[in-house]
Every structure is written in C-alpha cells, then in structure tokens.
Amino acid sequence: MRLQYPSNINIIKLPCTGKIDLIHLLRSFEKGADGVYVVGCLEGACQFTSGNIRARKRVEQAQEILEKIGVGGERVQMFNLSSSEAPHFVQVAVEMTEKIRDMGPNPIKTAMQKAA
C-alpha cells in the first residue's frame, strides 16, 4: 500500500508490547519525547496471551505518573490494531501527532534546554 504517515514518528520495534515496562515509557519522556504511543495487537489476539493487556496497564500507570508530575498523562497512549490495518495505523499516527502538537512540547525538554 505504501501509505505515508507523519515523519516525526520514530518507530521502536518489539517482539510483543508485553516487553514494554513502565520505566521504558517514563525514560522516553525523561529524554525529551513529546509523546509516546504503544501499538499492540488486538485484545484477545496476543500470541503470548496477555502481552497487550499488560502493556495497556503499564501505559495507564505511566499516564497516572506523568499527570501527577506535570508532564501530562495524555502524552502516552495505547492503541490496538492488527498488522493488516495499514490505513488505521496511519490514522492513529496522524491523530497522535495532532494531539501532541496541540499539547505542545514536553515540558521536561523545555526545562532541560533552559537548565543547559
């Protein structure tokens, strides 16, 4: 299909979203990411039975922490789609990019630049 998605997105490939830990999500923001979203398989379709369910819980934990520390919980999101849904993948990428643009840059990045 060769569909285009926003070029600002940096894809990190993992064997399963269950590999993601809370610390990976937090570190991305500590290093200045403006937003992070996890794309997992459809719920009920995980090869490892519950990798995507665990990932969702970790995303929710990250949201709670980021909200409390003033970074913004909305900056991290989870989406479920199957590998055959390329147009949906693009739609999610566009949606997420727009959402983060609306929110503005990660305040940690701005604070780091100020401190440097």
Partner 1 sequence: MIVANKKPIEEIIDMVKGYRKLLILGCNECVTVCEAGGKKEVAVLASALRMYFMNEGTKIEIDEVTLERQCDHEYLEEIRNSMDQYDAVVSLACGVGVQFMAEKYFGSPIYPGVNTCFMGVTEERGVWSERCQGCGQCILDRTAGICPISRCAKRLLNGPCGGSTKGKCEISKDLDCAWQIIIDRLKELDRLDDYEEIAPIKDWSTERAGGPRKVVREDVRQ
Q: Which residues bind partner 1 (CB under 8 A)?
A: 21-23, 26-27, 29-30, 65, 68-71, 107-108, 111-112, 114-115
Based on DSSP, count helices (H) and strands (E) in the chain, helices before strands: 4, 2
Cβ atoms of residues 37 and 92 within 8 Å: yes
Q: How far is the CB of 108 from partner 1 (least distance, A)?
A: 5
Q: Which is nearer to partner 1, 29 or 89 (CB)?
A: 29
22-30 helix and 51-68 helix, angle to the nearest 10 degrees: 40
Residues contacting 12, CB < 8 A, separation 6+? none
Q: How far is the CB of 32 from partner 1 (least distance, A)?
A: 11
Q: How far is the CB of 4 from partner 1 (least distance, A)?
A: 33
Q: Which is nearer to partner 1, 61 or 91 (CB)?
A: 61
Q: Which is nearer to partner 1, 28 or 89 (CB)?
A: 28
Q: Residue 40 pairs with which residues in a beta bridge?
A: 80
